[in-house]
Amino acid sequence: MQPVIGGKPVDRDKVKFYTIRGYALLRREDALTPSMEDYLEMAYRLSRDRGFTRIGDLACSLNVQPSSASKMVRKLSEMDYLKYEKYGVIEFTNRGRELGNYLLQRHEAIEEFLMLIGVKEGILEETEKIEHNIREETVDRIKTLVEFMRKNQKRLLEFKEFLEKRLNTPT
């Protein structure tokens, strides 16, 4: 299969490879770090019911110190994702709410995919490792595959039987 970059086929010999860090540096300057995404995603989770959350709740949910959560929330506020005043509640801007929703959906899609393919241990850790390193198109394809398998239970059962046989066959 010929690689495609920017929607155009390219010669395999001309494709440049980078380290994970190298790919990260190619992203836009204002791109969020994985840590920023984690804070935004968790703040979104926590604020879904009441429309806001608090530093203490966010820190507790992420197992970090309140001072660390406060520092990150200030950064995200400066980037126009959150609205926050010291000792107040954390609320989302429209931009932040949209991104928070996407980050949560991305997380849930990857988590569901891992369960679907039979991963039994460390799903949260694996999800965390994957979610910050894949593009939106890949997330969309994962969602599509999960939806396909849910709607085609026969195929899902075939896959699970295949997986079971493979796992029980000595290599």
CB 124 within 8 A of CB 111: yes
CA distances from 162 to 89, 117, 119, 120, 159 (A): 50, 11, 14, 16, 5
* pLDDT given for residue 154 in this prediction: 96
Residues of the chain with pLDDT under 70: 1-15, 18, 20-30, 171
Report the alpha-carbon distance of residue 98 to residue 153 in Å, rounded: 32
* pLDDT given for residue 77 in this prediction: 96
Report the alpha-carbon distance of residue 67 to residue 55 in Å, rounded: 9
Whole-model pTM: value is 0.81
Provide the strand spans (E) within 59-142: 82-84, 90-92
Question: Which domains are seen in the chain, by residue range?
Answer: 34-98 (1.10.10.10), 105-167 (1.10.60.10)
In tens, the pLDDT along 10-32 reads: 666 666 776 766 666 566 556 89
Nearest residue to 46 via CA among 33, 36, 59? 59
Report the alpha-carbon distance of residue 134 to residue 138 in Å, rounded: 6
* pLDDT given for residue 113 in this prediction: 96
* pLDDT given for residue 83 in this prediction: 96
* pLDDT given for residue 76 in this prediction: 97
